[in-house]
């Protein structure tokens, strides 16, 4: 594999993003070991390094999680080699147990911990500011504002680390990590190192007596580190004899420069930001009358200035928030308020546009599984805009169930919504089942498997309490038998749906009938409509134990927890062991798509190849699950929705911890199949668009639009079409279409 | 000389690759460049924008609202969504393809293709409509829409980046077996603006 960071052409310029620049800086510094767990926006650091590792003769790995990658890099440092570990900001929380004490043990070979923060949460669960982690851990921190700085700081961070014998935190933010720029590269440092571990170094053994000594040592190192930050090349004054001095860090500093006439202000760019270069800042303060601070997220510089008793124009006066990221627009507005720059007139964004949120891809295996999970509990629904009140459904139902003519004994009723609209109503299989609760004789029960209500006629006395309890009016009282009756969906194949001349009736599932704890990965998007399957997302591996906690608190019934294969390896395995040992009635669903999909397809321990492209022994998820004490394990193919629904229904009757492994490769990894198209049979029921929600299936109210290269079917409420350029050819929509209207497009391939 | 471009489309349409090629070409002609993009949440299907800035020296990777010289739209809804980024009388190069969002909310009425195209036309007089998806389809590859658009961009009036630089950037960024069809697509895009 070729890599652009291996070029040996010092001082030339190449287009690099911040992550790639860190990777380049690391190889220029002569690293021997690199390790990381993928996490946006830090992923491309190790990805880039792994591609260069064989060429430049160093080792790179995707570790199973962030603390392991940190320990791997720390071990390399202890042996005298230079090493880098990279992670996203929340990855640092996972790694923190190691990092906090590494500050005490110190390092031998240069060790750089690269952390990418994500202001504005472009792809994260929080907005923590790693500069405060540096304060917390007492480790030096460099804060990069663009890719060039990222490269220069990485290279220099190794020198600083070896001077101080401390790990150095290098911080990027999303706009730096994923921003590309023309970057001048340097030359490769030729390090001849004796790689060995000093077995007598008591600083590696953090028993209390040694650790307290090392804490003193850390304080001494910090004094030296402050001297380095005071004189760092990354803390630069640009004195333009102005009355106003602007102090900034990160990308926000450059936004400020872009909206101001730079010559009219004096500038202090802070890059080596912990320990705080107080003397340098005080010197700068004496040259100006007003100090303005520009920094994203928390007011770290501002608080340090206040501690130095300096007057500061900061977030409050500028009306700049700690929440979200800065933009040139926001910075301009802030400076315009102070009269320091012009406000520019802008046009508002066009309003009333359909949003296009992130979505599971066409062919996504997670969508298929979630659809199946939502289909366990099904009921008949009616589109009132199509129903004409013909009562065919009532007649078909009454005849089919009781062989009587007329609709009186039907389990579905047509009622008027208003002067023009009708709707047919039957049992909605609601999770709370007030009918079952109301029955004093225990005649009604709700099926654990299907959610359907069944009537035990031997117990029913015809009191009709349940009839009154049902707010849908879906329960009928048979006046001959004095027994109640309710829809049973004809065993999942309702006669009313098939006979409706307007295709107004559809058998649909519901997503609100069970608790589904989620996790971190593509599959978190199952929270969004139309699937709305997932109800929690906290941290890596958190869903399993959250589900267990709910069970132990007594929520009742089986609680589901879904997570991906890589998240399972990362932090899910201890959670599963805990569920198994403590007997929580949790069904853990491992959505095994054989890859870390969300961050761009990095291998997992089940992928069978390493970061450097070597073959590896693929671990068996089944074996791991069995070995932690799970007896009930079901493996399904999520593309087979019918079998998956049956498997879930069976699991629902199993009491105790159990696991479903939903196994199929991410469709982006494999060659696309032949696309599907929608034929005239389409009943426009909306199942594929409003319930399944594949982005390749589009619906438009635009009756005369020519949707490019798509098959278009005219139907009453709009047009449904499959865009062949997006369709993955998975065929799941075809398998769930009640009208058999979706078929493979024949005679063409794209 | 300063040029600020916004690329707007849907995840999976090749926006990141195209804006990369654009920046590489600008660098070949000696410009400083920055590029900002957001990717991470979901591989396909969401709104994606990328900013590319070209000048002698660029500091901020983000473009201010209402200051972009041009929008390159891979799809019309996303083009309209990005319109507020455009300076008065700025240029729009737009693929006339309409990808309707799938799980749209019932509360917002879906705009028609004609409505969206006329919003663009009313916004600025400098609109280049390119039927890139159909052109790509005719060349037998749906995935070359982005290089058709790049060809159109390369032919814009006062484009400071040389045609040869675009082609050279393509040859270094694209897989060899796809290069020929992409060069063909590039030429088709050029002609759609030049004619």
Residue of A706 and A457 predicted with greater confidence: A457
Chain B residues in contact with A332 (beta carbon < 8 A): 64
In chain B, helix, strand, coil percent, each to 5?
45, 25, 30
pLDDT at A702: 46
Arithmetic mean of pLDDT, A357-369: 92
Q: Specify whether the CB–CB gap between A130 and A141 falls below 8 A.
A: yes
A183 touches B at CB < 8 Å: no
A702 touches B at CB < 8 Å: yes
CA distances from A576 to A64, A158, A336 (A): 16, 39, 55
Q: Would you call A230 exposed, middle or buried from its count of C-beta atoms within 10 A (0-12, 13-18, 19+)? A: middle
Q: How close A264 comes to chain B (CA, Å)?
A: 17
Q: Specify whether the CB–CB gap between B64 and A344 falls below 8 A.
A: yes
How confident is the model over A552-595, as pLDDT tens digits?
A: 999 999 999 999 999 999 999 999 999 999 999 999 999 999 99
Write the Ramachandran bin of A595: left for phi over 0, alpha for psi from -120 to 50, otherwise beta: beta
B36, B133, B143 ranked by CB distance to A709: nearest: B133
CA atoms within 13 A on the CB side of A553: 8
Domain residue extents for chain B: 2-102+112-194
How confident is the model over A219-250, as pLDDT tens digits?
A: 999 999 999 999 999 999 999 999 999 999 99
**Of A728, A725, A726, A721, whose CA–CA distance to A742 is shortest?**
A721
Q: Is A749 a residue whose pLDDT tops 90? A: no
How confident is the model over A373-389, as pLDDT tens digits?
A: 999 999 999 999 899 99
Q: Is A706 a residue whose pLDDT tops 50? A: no
Q: Specify whether the CB–CB gap between A220 and A266 falls below 8 A.
A: no
Q: Is A718 a residue whose pLDDT tops 70? A: no
Q: Please, which residues 456-515 of chain A have a Cβ atom closer than 8 Å to chain B?
A: none
Chain B residues in contact with A358 (beta carbon < 8 A): 11, 41-42, 45-46
Q: Which residue of A has its CA nearest to B87?
A: A346
CA distances from A258 to A91, A322, B99 (A): 32, 21, 35
CB contact under 8 A, A146 and B61: yes
B27 touches A at CB < 8 Å: yes
Q: Where are the beta strands (DSSP E) in A350-437?
A: 378-382, 413-416, 422-425
Question: Which residue segments constitute the domains of chain A, with CATH numbers given?
Answer: 4-230 (3.40.50.970), 236-337 (3.40.50.920), 365-373+514-669 (3.40.50.970), 377-508 (3.30.70.20), 676-744 (3.30.70)
Whole-number Å distance between alpha carbons of A342 and A33: 50
How confident is the model over B101-133, as pLDDT tens digits?
A: 765 566 778 889 999 999 999 999 999 999 999
pLDDT at A170: 98
CB contacts < 8 A, A to B, total: 226
B57 touches A at CB < 8 Å: no
Q: Is A133 a residue whose pLDDT tops 90? A: yes
CB contact under 8 A, B45 and A347: no
Q: Is A1 a residue whose pLDDT tops 90? A: no
B103, B112, B133 ranked by CB distance to A693: nearest: B103
Chain B residues in contact with A251 (beta carbon < 8 A): 60-61
B134 touches A at CB < 8 Å: yes
CB contact under 8 A, B46 and A15: no
Q: Is A717 a residue whose pLDDT tops 50? A: no
Arithmetic mean of pLDDT, B72-77: 97
How confident is the model over A314-358, as pLDDT tens digits?
A: 999 999 999 999 999 999 999 999 999 999 888 899 999 988 888
CA A740 distance to own-chain centroid = 34
pLDDT at A175: 97
Question: 3.30.9.10, 3.40.50.11540, 3.30.300.30, 3.40.920.10: which CATH number matches B2-102+112-194?
Answer: 3.40.920.10
Q: Is A300 a residue whose pLDDT tops 80? A: yes
Whole-number Å distance between alpha carbons of A82 and A61: 15
Q: Is B143 a residue whose pLDDT tops 90? A: no
Encoded tokens for B47: 């709104």
Q: How close A639 comes to chain B (CA, Å)?
A: 19
Chain B residues in contact with A537 (beta carbon < 8 A): none
Contacts within 8 Å (CB) and 24+ apart, B126-130 = B126/B89, B126/B90, B126/B91, B126/B92, B127/B91, B127/B92, B127/B94, B128/B91, B128/B92, B128/B93, B128/B94, B128/B152, B128/B156, B128/B192, B128/B193, B129/B94, B129/B96, B130/B93, B130/B94, B130/B95, B130/B96, B130/B189, B130/B192, B130/B193
CB contact under 8 A, B40 and A40: yes
- Does ipTM exceed 0.85? yes
User: Mutation test of the interface with chain B: which of A725, A728, A733, A745, choosing the one with the most B Cβ atoms within 10 A?
Assistant: A725
> Torsion over CA of A372, A373, A374 and A380, rounded to 10 degrees?
60
CB contact under 8 A, B110 and A179: no
CB contact under 8 A, A702 and B40: no
Q: Please, which residues 311-330 of chain A have a Cβ atom closer than 8 Å to chain B?
A: 327-329
A40, A345, A530 ranked by CB distance to B103: nearest: A530
Q: Please, which residues 595-614 of chain A have a Cβ atom closer than 8 Å to chain B?
A: 597-600
Q: How close A263 comes to chain B (CA, Å)?
A: 14
By DSSP bridging, strand B126-130 and strand B86-95 are parallel
Return the minimum-mean-pLDDT range out of A122-126, A419-423, B51-55.
A419-423
pLDDT at B163: 97
Arithmetic mean of pLDDT, B83-89: 97
**Of A150, A87, A147, whose CA–CA distance to A116 is shortest?**
A87
Q: Which residue of A has its CA nearest to B66?
A: A346
pLDDT at A719: 73
Chain A residues in contact with B58 (beta carbon < 8 A): 181
CA A113 distance to own-chain centroid = 23
How confident is the model over A473-507, as pLDDT tens digits?
A: 999 999 889 999 999 999 999 999 999 999 999 99
CB contact under 8 A, B44 and A694: no
Percent of chain B with pLDDT over 90: 78
Q: Is A743 a residue whose pLDDT tops 90? A: yes
Whole-number Å distance between alpha carbons of A265 and A656: 68
Chain A residues in contact with B27 (beta carbon < 8 A): 13, 15, 182
- Helix (H) or strand (E) holding A503, with range, is none
How confident is the model over A51-104, as pLDDT tens digits?
A: 999 999 999 999 999 999 999 999 999 999 999 999 999 999 999 999 999 999
| Look-up of token digits 């969508």 | A367
How would residue A709 be classed by pLDDT, with cut points 50, 70 and 90? very low
Q: Is B15 a residue whose pLDDT tops 60? A: yes
A698 touches B at CB < 8 Å: yes
CB contact under 8 A, B80 and A122: no
Chain B residues in contact with A705 (beta carbon < 8 A): 98, 112-114
pLDDT at A695: 87
pTM of the full predicted structure? 0.95
Chain A residues in contact with B61 (beta carbon < 8 A): 146, 175, 179, 181, 251, 254
Whole-number Å distance between alpha carbons of A412 and A426: 5
Whole-number Å distance between alpha carbons of A487 and A428: 9
User: Mutation test of the interface with chain A: which of B7, B40, B74, choosing the one with the most A Cβ atoms within 10 A?
Assistant: B40
- As a whole number, the mean pLDDT across chain A is 94
Q: Is A703 a residue whose pLDDT tops 50? A: no
How would residue B39 be classed by pLDDT, with cut points 50, 70 and 90? low
Q: Is A704 a residue whose pLDDT tops 50? A: no
Q: How close A711 comes to chain B (CA, Å)?
A: 13
A717 touches B at CB < 8 Å: no
A429 touches B at CB < 8 Å: no
pLDDT at A700: 63
B32 touches A at CB < 8 Å: yes
CB contact under 8 A, A352 and B141: no
pLDDT at A708: 39
Whole-number Å distance between alpha carbons of A77 and A58: 14
- Helix (H) or strand (E) holding B150, with range, is helix B145-154
How confident is the model over A385-412, as pLDDT tens digits?
A: 899 999 999 999 999 998 988 888 999 9
How confident is the model over A149-180, as pLDDT tens digits?
A: 999 999 999 999 999 999 999 999 999 999 99
pLDDT at A408: 83
Whole-number Å distance between alpha carbons of A288 and A296: 23
């Amino acid at each position: 594999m070729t890599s652009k960071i291996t070029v040996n052409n010092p001082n030339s310029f190449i287009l690099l993003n911040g992550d790639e620049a860190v990777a380049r800086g690391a190889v220029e510094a002569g690293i021997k070991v690199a390790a990381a767990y993928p996490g946006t926006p830090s992923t491309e650091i190790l990805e880039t390094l792994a591609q260069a590792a064989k060429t430049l003769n160093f080792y790179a790995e995707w570790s199973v999680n962030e603390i392991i990658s940190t320990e791997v890099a720390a071990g390399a440092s202890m042996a005298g080699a230079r090493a880098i570990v990279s992670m996203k900001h929340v990855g640092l929380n996972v790694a923190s147990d190691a990092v906090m004490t590494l500050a005490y043990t110190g390092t031998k070979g240069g060790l750089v911990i690269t952390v990418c923060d994500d202001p504005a949460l472009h792809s994260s669960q929080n907005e923590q500011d790693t500069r405060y982690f540096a304060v917390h851990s007492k480790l030096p921190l460099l804060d990069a504002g663009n890719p060039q700085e990222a490269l220069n700081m990485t290279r220099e961070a190794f020198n600083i680390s070896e001077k101080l014998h401390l790990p150095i935190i290098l911080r990027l933010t999303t706009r730096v990590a994923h921003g590309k720029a023309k970057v001048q590269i340097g030359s490769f440092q030729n390090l001849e190192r004796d790689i060995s571990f000093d077995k007598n170094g008591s600083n590696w053994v953090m028993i209390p007596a040694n650790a307290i000594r090392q804490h003193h040592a850390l304080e001494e190192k910090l004094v030296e580190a402050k001297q380095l930050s005071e004189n760092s090349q990354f803390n630069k004054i640009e004195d333009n004899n102005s009355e106003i001095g602007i102090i900034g860090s990160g990308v926000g500093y450059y936004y400020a420069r872009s909206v101001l006439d730079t010559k009219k202000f004096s500038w202090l760019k802070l890059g080596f930001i912990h320990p705080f270069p107080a003397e340098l800042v005080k010197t700068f303060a004496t040259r100006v009358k007003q100090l303005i601070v520009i920094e994203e997220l928390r007011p770290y510089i501002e608080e340090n200035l206040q501690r130095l008793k300096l007057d500061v124009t900061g977030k409050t006066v500028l009306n700049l928030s700690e929440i979200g990221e800065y933009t040139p627009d926001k910075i301009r507005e802030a400076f315009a308020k102070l009269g320091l720059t012009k406000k520019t007139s802008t046009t508002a964004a066009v309003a009333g546009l359909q949003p296009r949120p992130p979505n599971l891809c066409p062919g996504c295996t997670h969508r298929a599984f979630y659809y199946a999970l939502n289909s366990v509990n099904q009921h008949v629904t009616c589109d009132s805009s199509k129903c004409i009140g013909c009562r065919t459904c009532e007649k078909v139902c009454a005849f089919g169930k009781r062989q009587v003519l007329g609709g009186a004994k039907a389990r579905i009723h047509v009622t008027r919504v208003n002067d023009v609209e009708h709707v047919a109503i039957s049992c909605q299989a609601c999770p709370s089942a007030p009918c079952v609760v109301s029955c004093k004789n225990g005649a009604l029960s709700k099926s654990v498997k299907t959610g359907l209500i069944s009537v035990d006629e031997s117990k029913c006395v015809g009191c009709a309490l349940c009839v009154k309890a049902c707010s849908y009016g879906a329960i009928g009282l048979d006046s001959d038998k004095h027994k109640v009756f309710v829809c049973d969906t004809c065993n999942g194949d309702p006669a009313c749906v098939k006979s409706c001349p307007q295709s107004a009736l559809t058998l649909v599932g519901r997503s609100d009938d069970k608790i589904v704890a989620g996790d971190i990965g593509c599959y978190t998007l199952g929270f969004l409509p139309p699937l709305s399957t997932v109800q929690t997302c906290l941290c890596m591996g958190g869903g399993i134990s959250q589900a267990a906690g709910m069970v132990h608190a007594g929520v009742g019934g089986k609680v589901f927890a879904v997570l991906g294969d890589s998240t399972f390896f990362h932090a899910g395995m201890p959670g599963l062991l805990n569920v198994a040992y403590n007997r929580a009635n949790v069904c853990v669903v491992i959505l095994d798509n054989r890859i870390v999909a969300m961050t761009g397809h990095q291998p997992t321990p089940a992928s069978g190849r390493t970061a450097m492209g070597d073959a590896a022994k693929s671990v068996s998820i089944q074996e791991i699950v069995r070995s932690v004490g799970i007896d009930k394990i079901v493996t399904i193919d999520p593309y087979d929705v019918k079998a998956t629904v049956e498997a879930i229904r069976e699991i629902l009757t199993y009491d105790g911890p159990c696991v479903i492994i939903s196994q199929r490769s991410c469709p982006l990894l494999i060659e696309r199949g032949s696309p599907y198209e929608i034929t005239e049979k389409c009943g426009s029921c909306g199942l594929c668009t409003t319930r399944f929600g594949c982005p390749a299936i589009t619906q438009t109210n635009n009756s005369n639009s020519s949707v490019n290269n798509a098959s278009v079917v005219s139907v009453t409420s709009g047009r449904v079409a499959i865009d062949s350029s997006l369709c993955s050819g998975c065929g799941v929509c075809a398998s769930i279409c009640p009208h058999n209207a979706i078929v493979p497009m024949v005679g063409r391939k794209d | 000389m300063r040029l600020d471009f916004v690329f707007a489309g849907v995840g999976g349409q090749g926006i990141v690759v195209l804006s990369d090629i654009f920046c590489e070409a600008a660098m070949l002609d000696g410009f400083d460049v920055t590029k900002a993009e957001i990717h991470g949440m979901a591989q396909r299907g969401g709104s994606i924008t990328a900013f590319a800035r070209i000048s002698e020296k660029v500091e901020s990777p983000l473009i201010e609202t209402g200051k972009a010289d041009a929008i390159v739209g891979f799809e019309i809804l996303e083009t309209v969504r990005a319109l507020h980024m455009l300076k008065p009388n700025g240029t729009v190069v737009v693929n006339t393809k309409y990808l309707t969002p799938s799980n749209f909310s019932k509360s917002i009425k879906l705009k028609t293709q004609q409505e969206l195209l006329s919003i663009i036309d009313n916004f600025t007089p400098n609109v280049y409509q390119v039927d890139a998806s159909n052109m790509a389809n005719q060349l037998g590859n749906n995935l070359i829409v982005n290089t058709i658009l790049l060809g159109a961009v390369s032919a814009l009036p006062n484009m400071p980046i040389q045609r040869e630089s675009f082609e050279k950037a393509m040859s270094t960024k694209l897989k060899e077996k796809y290069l020929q069809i992409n060069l063909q697509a590039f030429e088709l895009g050029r002609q759609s603006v030049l004619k």
